[in-house]
Amino acid sequence: MRKSLKLLAGLVLMATAFMTACSSGNDSLLRYVDPKIGSGGHGHVFVGASVPFGLVQVGPTSIPQDWDWCSGYHSSDESVIGFSHTHLSGTGIGDLFDITLMPVIGEVTYARGTHESYDTGMWSYADRTKEVTRPGYYSVPLKRYGITAEMTATTRVGFHRYTFPASEEAAIVIDLQNGGCWDRASDVKMEQVSDTRIEGYRHSRGWANDQKVFFVADFSRPIDKFELVGNKMYGRASFATKENEQIYVKVALSPVSIDGAKANMEAELPDWNFKRTIAAAEKAWAQELSKMDVTSDNEAAKRTFYTALYHTMIAPSVFCDVNGDYRGADGQIHKGEGHTTYTTYSLWDTYRAAMPLMSIIQKERMTDIINTMINICDEQGRLPVWHLWGCETDCMVGNPGLISVADAIVKGDTGIDKERAYEAVKKTAMHPGRGNNYRIEVGFIPSDKMNQNIAYDMEYAIADGAAAYAARALGKDADAEYFEKRSHSYRNYFDPETRFIRGRLSDGSWREPFDPYHSSHNNDDYCEGNAWQYTWLAPQDVEGLQECFGGKEPMIQKLDSLFTVSSVVTGENASADISGLIGQYAHGNEPSHHIIYMYSMLGEPHKAADKVREVLTTLYFDAEEGLSGNEDVGQMSAWYIMSAMGFYEAEPASGRYWFGSPLFNEVDINLADGTFRIVAENNSAENKYIQRVWLNGEPYDKGWISHSDIKAGGELKFEMGAEPNLWY
């Protein structure tokens, strides 16, 4: 009888949790979001509770620290060491997982633990059959303890609710030891300052090499006993609980100070209304998702689309207190300058689609993001590469931050000082570090001078093309000519005999031996790729690449073969990032993302349509394995969103988007000043080819649309058909 009552009580609690999560009103778009899409395979997405672009991402963290667990969660493992307040989404490197809370019963071992036994740590298996996850809310029962964990969030505060069994030995443990797989705590502090409040900080070194997180934790009832345990990296707040007693905990974070965390708490979550906080989080997500309205009978595609849109809004993350104070790239505390400061800039990935998407649907936020990047340039001497919690990781190749700032200049962002922005672009383009000195001195980076030389050089060349666009937009013709010429540096690697981009030594000879299928992860001429993929990494100079091939037809023949050759990648240490393969086209990694649209740029849009539709319908789907590669902080999802609308900014910072094949019958982009409607008439799986195009009712004869036309609002209409057609 007691077991039956316990089971009934548990079912009631789970039903209550679900109804609480679903009760906030307008969920017409929220119902299309499944945060677990991409939590299997190599998607690495964050699963937990947050608000759009929030500093806090509160959710479960698992025992494993391998590549697939970079977000702290993977569908293949049900262990939970606690609920951390910071997470990355879709990265290939693990970090963060700061300020972890774990509810427990009885004496435990204060350690991360292993799967061998509960005795190795305080971890528990989660009951995934009763897990609830939706935008702004997360809940799961912990099997070991019979505790149900629920959480929601504001921008800077994580809000927990733990439902306990009756126990004299209940506790909530604050874990300051465990972070991401590269992360090591260097200095921690926590102390009880009242019968309901714990304050402290966690400083760590890892991928972010000098990360500082300050926190304030408020409990909904007085703590019976607080003690530092487990080499003082853990703090145990103990309670005696009744059956089904709920204890709430609010944890406010700050990158600046404990006082900053206090102010964030007071401003964002002064009360204890859990249901209202969930409702506010859901409302924030609903407002962001409503920036795009999709009309389609394909419910699965709509789930994929809106989940993708959701995933593009986890980061960049707010990185300042409510008063605007932030920790700069120089390690100093800076006052807010009239805009919100952001972090988590996965720019090598996101400059390609995620940032251009934000330039369309996140106009004001994008201005703040670009101004943050310009400030970073002032603080560290160059624009960011991969910035994380005030730290430059220098992860990945090239000058990706330059591209996004140049893009804002070209698109006429009125919220930035364009001259100051351009100075940051030019300063970064001329910075001699990270191999750029070889390009400045001898025109390219020789293979015998540095590792990943081709990848660095070709990404620098793309950035130079972006700098040229920005210079020309500002009337700086001499600079534009210089950067445009330098954007051709990749041509030094083109071998006309093999018709591949390949390693070249200082004396001009080719690196031998050569195998275009070969990859050695981060230890050869390429970065996460091989010659098949990198031969096309010149979207800023398609005409020049065509000349390298000896004409349009030879280039198209080679491009055709990219999608039909063997998908085998050779090499004992081949990069695991080369995934989502169609032939040697690797959609699971960013260097391939523009390649399909080269067909449109070469005057064969029907081939682009074929491949766009194939990728949209086979490499994205509404399941845990629904991404073909790392989410990479929104880039993988942004490619889907842009391509499903029918276009993509293949030439970075060009301000124009090349057409592919729209997936939906109608998409309304709700802009700050109006609506831009995309209509695809006669659209179907068979009718995937664009026949004719109209812009605002007038016939349109270009293969692309400009950002300025989208920004102005209006209607872009495609007539679709089953036969290839060239309208431009």
Domain-embedded: residue 705: yes
Co-location of 437 and 384 in the same domain: yes
Q: pLDDT grade, residue 182 (50/70/90)?
A: confident
Co-location of 265 and 374 in the same domain: no
pLDDT over 80 at 4, yes or no: no
Per-residue pLDDT at 340: 97
Q: How far apart are CA 108 and CA 637, in angstroms?
A: 40
Per-residue pLDDT at 338: 87
Residue 511 gets which letter from DSSP? P
Co-location of 241 and 351 in the same domain: no
Co-location of 238 and 328 in the same domain: no
CATH number reported for the structural domain that contains residue 649 in this entry = 3.30.2080.10
Determine the average pLDDT of the residues in 636-664.
98
Angle at 567 between CA 564 and CA 569, to 5 degrees: 140
Domain-embedded: residue 315: no
Domain-embedded: residue 626: yes
Q: pLDDT grade, residue 17 (50/70/90)?
A: very low
Query: 138 phi and psi, to 5 degrees?
Result: -145, 140
Determine the average pLDDT of the residues in 97-101.
97
Co-location of 276 and 333 in the same domain: no
Q: pLDDT grade, residue 27 (50/70/90)?
A: low
Per-residue pLDDT at 68: 81
Domain-embedded: residue 306: no
Per-residue pLDDT at 558: 98
Question: Tokens 């093999």 correspond to what residue?
Answer: 498
The mean of the pLDDT values for the chain is: 95
Q: pLDDT grade, residue 111 (50/70/90)?
A: very high
pLDDT digits (tens, 9 = 90+) for 157-174: 999 999 999 999 999 999
Co-location of 266 and 359 in the same domain: no
Q: pLDDT grade, residue 40 (50/70/90)?
A: very high
CATH number reported for the structural domain that contains residue 254 in this entry = 2.70.98.10
Per-residue pLDDT at 12: 38
Domain-embedded: residue 294: no
Q: How far apart are CA 643 and CA 659, in angstroms?
A: 8
pLDDT digits (tens, 9 = 90+) for 319-371: 999 999 999 999 999 998 789 999 999 999 999 999 999 999 999 999 999 99
112 touches 123 (CB < 8 A): yes
Q: How far apart are CA 149 and CA 139, in angstroms?
A: 5
Angle at 302 between CA 299 and CA 303, to 5 degrees: 90
328 Cβ neighbours under 8 A, 6+ residues apart: 334, 375, 376, 379, 390
Paired with 423 in beta bridges are: none
Domain-embedded: residue 258: yes
Q: How far apart are CA 26 and CA 16, in angstroms?
A: 19
Determine the average pLDDT of the residues in 243-262.
98
Co-location of 269 and 352 in the same domain: no
Domain-embedded: residue 296: no
Co-location of 282 and 416 in the same domain: no
pLDDT over 80 at 11, yes or no: no
Determine the average pLDDT of the residues in 267-287.
98
Least confident of 19-23, 296-300, 565-569: 19-23
| Residue whose C-alpha is closest to residue 248's, from 123, 163, 181 | 163
The token pair that represents 13 in the structure block: 């609690």
pLDDT digits (tens, 9 = 90+) for 89-98: 999 888 999 9
Paired with 706 in beta bridges are: 656
Expressed as residue numbers, the domain containing 210 is 12-289
206 touches 184 (CB < 8 A): yes
Domain-embedded: residue 225: yes
Co-location of 126 and 262 in the same domain: yes
pLDDT digits (tens, 9 = 90+) for 232-247: 999 999 999 999 999 9
Q: pLDDT grade, residue 180 (50/70/90)?
A: confident
288 Cβ neighbours under 8 A, 6+ residues apart: 52, 309, 313
pLDDT over 90 at 24, yes or no: no
For the chain, the domain total comes to 2
Co-location of 254 and 331 in the same domain: no
